Structure 1
Amino acid sequence: MSDFDIDHTSFAVHDALGWARRLRRDLGAVPITGEVLAEFRYLLLHVGTADTGGRLELLEPVGTDGFLSRFLASRGEGPHHLTFTVPDLHEAVRRVRALGMTVVGEDHEHPSWREAFIMPDPVHRTVIQLAQSDKSYPKPGELIGSTDRDPSASPSVAGATDPLWWTPLWDTPAEGHGRLGATHLVSQDRDVSLRLFEGVLDAGVSERDGSLELTWPSGSIHLHSGDTPGITGADLHGGSVEAVDIGSSRLQRHV
């Protein structure tokens, strides 16, 4: 991973495998990778075709006293964070701090997944994760064409175990075939958002339907102005359902 890119949109849920089964059945989602850590386990999915689509992460708490358990207790299921990959995590963190934003949880010691987190602020009200890895995910065509996964070849979080905990998902047949489009994010200050996403994270920017479209190689964000900031959902194209609600957010068929 050598360039700036949007990696995935992450959702906190009580039952990651249950949600993954639904997303596989209705949208044809295919697993990429997943791991278990002290306070949570995650599963990263590709929702799309061999040529296009997007990545969605499901986070499930492990135990009852971790950060994710507290998040779900206070806010319920729904969007948790956005993740971007960067070519130089030290430099990205420096530039984010220069904007006056708060960065926590820095880990520069694990080459497979160096990370840092921009704390939620009044502008976006969502966690933004920055990551750098010396590994990359399989191409979508490889994911769709095979059930074999090599955990050692994909990015991996420090201290993670059980990288194939999610394999019962293969028992669920894919009845629908959709693809994930742009994530929708409401901002209270478009100028601040542009300084972060365009100025630091190198997004391409264009106007679309009264909002800004921020684009990277692996996906895009539709940035809306509003008084209630945060991730509101994402576009869907195709699939066997019109919409999938995950808590307060909606993955919705885009016409």
Structure 2
Amino acid sequence: MEKNLLGTNFITQIGILVHDIEKTSQAYADFFGVNNPGWSLTGARDVAQTEYRGEPSEARAKLAFFNMGSLQLELIEPDEKPSTWREYLDEHGEGPHHIAFKIEGMRDKVTTLERNQMPLLQKGEYTGGRYAYIDTFDTLKVIVELLENDKK
């Protein structure tokens, strides 16, 4: 395997899958003594351009973000449509789903990871950028998410 595949080792986010985002968000808010951030719904297919395992996907999820210093905690409650979120939640239950890294050059990073037997699972757009989930579970025991924000 090549080395330094992402060009960074700074983890920016940990994603956790949940069945009930409202209940779990409140539990985290209480635990940390912070305000509950509420949740937002991911964009529809026409906006998010979501693809799962190479096919267009209508999947959506409720997301709640806790900014905890240099690390963001993301809670994810997926809908029932096919996605890495739904698949992982059904197979493994609630708990950690991914660790995320901010990167530049999404297409090149995905190509490099695929060349190293780490295939793209899901990708999509969000306001101001894009994400990609990479199947690194066999090697790293967790999914890696790449986050690329548009340059301002």
Query: What's the TM-score, normalizing by structure 2?
Result: 0.67
Partner of 2:67: 46
Residues 99 and 66 of structure 1, relative CA distance in 2, 3 Å threshold: closer
Aligned partners of 2:12 and 2:101 also within 8 Å: yes
For residue 122 of structure 1, the aligned residue among 113, 133, 138 is 138
**Following the alignment from structure 1 to structure 2, what is the Cα–Cα distance between the partners of residues 9 and 96?**
20
**Following the alignment from structure 1 to structure 2, what is the Cα–Cα distance between the partners of residues 123 and 91?**
20
Pick the structure with greater CA Rg.
1
% identity of equivalent residues? 22
For residue 108 of structure 2, the aligned residue among 68, 72, 91 is 91
| Unmatched tracts of structure 1, length 5 or more | 137-255
**Following the alignment from structure 1 to structure 2, what is the Cα–Cα distance between the partners of residues 46 and 110?**
18
Partner of 1:133: 149
Aligned partners of 1:39 and 1:66 also within 8 Å: no
CA deviation after TM superposition for structure 1 residue 46, in Å: 1.7
Aligned partners of 1:9 and 1:82 also within 8 Å: yes
Secondary structure at the aligned position of 1:100 is classed as: coil
Partner of 2:91: 74
Partner amino acid, structure 2, of 1:133: N
1:89-238 residue pairs with structure 2 within 5 A?
A: 89-107=106-124, 112-134=128-150
Query: What's the TM-score, normalizing by structure 1?
Result: 0.43
CA deviation after TM superposition for structure 1 residue 95, in Å: 2.5
Partner amino acid, structure 2, of 1:81: H
For residue 73 of structure 2, the aligned residue among 34, 37, 56 is 56
**Following the alignment from structure 1 to structure 2, what is the Cα–Cα distance between the partners of residues 56 and 110?**
17
Aligned partners of 2:12 and 2:70 also within 8 Å: no
Residues 135 and 24 of structure 1, relative CA distance in 2, 3 Å threshold: farther
Aligned partners of 1:33 and 1:45 also within 8 Å: no
Number of residue equivalences: 128
**Following the alignment from structure 2 to structure 1, what is the Cα–Cα distance between the partners of residues 113 and 39?**
28
**Following the alignment from structure 1 to structure 2, what is the Cα–Cα distance between the partners of residues 81 and 24?**
21
CA deviation after TM superposition for structure 1 residue 69, in Å: 3.9
Residues 45 and 87 of structure 1, relative CA distance in 2, 3 Å threshold: same
Deviation string 1:23-82 (CA, Å, 9 cap, x unpaired) is: 1112124466842134311111123xxxx45211101123x3443344333321111111
